[in-house]
Structure 1
Amino acid sequence: MAHIIDDETIEYVGILAKLELDDAEKEAAKKDMGRMLDYIDKLNELDTDGVEPMSHVFPVYNVFREDVVINGDDRDQILKNAPESKDGAFKVPKTVE
């Protein structure tokens, strides 16, 4: 099925993509879009019954670790590294007046 892309469609897509196309580029874009739509039609002819939908060609598994707190509350140990501390927090020089 041949798809005919008109000038209005190319103008609209150009606006959406924030592209400024000259006449030669518009003609090339019309041909490219037509070929893409023809290819989609060709893919739609394939028999995909029994084919499981997928997002990747290879199986992808969650590789993240479980989010578990392991170090707890070591405030006193951490504050031992501070040059100065006050009320359980780092004491730093004032930077804003």
Structure 2
Amino acid sequence: MKELFPAKQVLGFVFSLLLTVAALAVYFIDMSNGAGITILVITAFTQALLQLVVFMHAGETSDKKAIYTTVYFGVFIVIASIFGTLITMIWGY
């Protein structure tokens, strides 16, 4: 019976709910903008990684190296776009 119970998925779901509660706490708790954005970014990336690994089974295929390389490249593009936008529009370079 133990092999029929999806313990990994249930724990992933519970952890996903906890990350959502942490993100909602930023809205309801009065904190500075910097701290709130930091918590939101950390919970967002953690939840995205959790969804990818647990529910989309990214690490269970034979081409997991290609999948993780694509994810790392996507994160690099996102970070480069964000900092490029900040440099151009806010910091004036």
Q: Same fold (TM over 0.5)?
A: no
Query: In terms of Rg, which structure is larger?
Result: 1
In the superposition, the TM-score normalised over structure 1's length comes to 0.30
Q: 1 or 2, which has the higher strand percentage?
A: 1
In the superposition, the TM-score normalised over structure 2's length comes to 0.31
Question: Which has the higher relative contact order, 1 or 2, with Cα contacts under 8 A spaced 6 or more apart?
Answer: 2
